[in-house]
Amino acid sequence: MTEFWKTKTLAEMTTQEWESLCDGCGQCCLVKLEDTESSEIYYTDVVCYLLDHESCQCGDYQNRCIRVPDCIKLTAKNLDGLGWMPDECAYRRLAEGRGLDWWHPLVSGSYDTVHLSGASIRGKVISETEIDVEELEQHIVDWVR
């Protein structure tokens, strides 16, 4: 595959190219809290019940927005309004004019590097089914990139 992310805008990418930008870190599936006064976003170590903790992939990607109504389908059109996306997300990096990080599978050639680099949620999270929603504040983390 050519380095299309260097020559195309997000809006110009094919569906296959767009989908390949996902590095498989799983950070977008973390449950987030927003301070209503400051609008600051806090990430937790709690993930959507559909996320496979080992592969960091959605267990029902095609139907995720039906099964999880607040799941957001990322598009080139709505990316600007998603300030809660992690700083190291490939979509956000490219939208901000930054390149892909060394561990991104399109750069490294391996899906293992996202995990080896520590960028993924593998080994760091619990499912939302394992906690009471009232406990979310106790699960705020500072390791999200």
- For the stretch 112-127, pLDDT in tens is 999 999 999 999 999 9
The pLDDT confidence band at residue 1, using thresholds 50, 70 and 90, is low
Domain enclosing residue 62, as ranges: 10-139
| pLDDT in the model for residue 145 | 77
Within a domain: 5: no
Within a domain: 119: yes
Residue 74: Cβ within 10 Å count: 18
Within a domain: 2: no
Within a domain: 47: yes
Inter-residue contact 44 to 136 (CB < 8 Å): yes
At CA 126, angle to CA 120 and CA 130, rounded to 5? Answer: 165
| pLDDT in the model for residue 131 | 95
Domain count, the chain: 1
Within a domain: 108: yes
- For the stretch 55-65, pLDDT in tens is 999 999 999 99
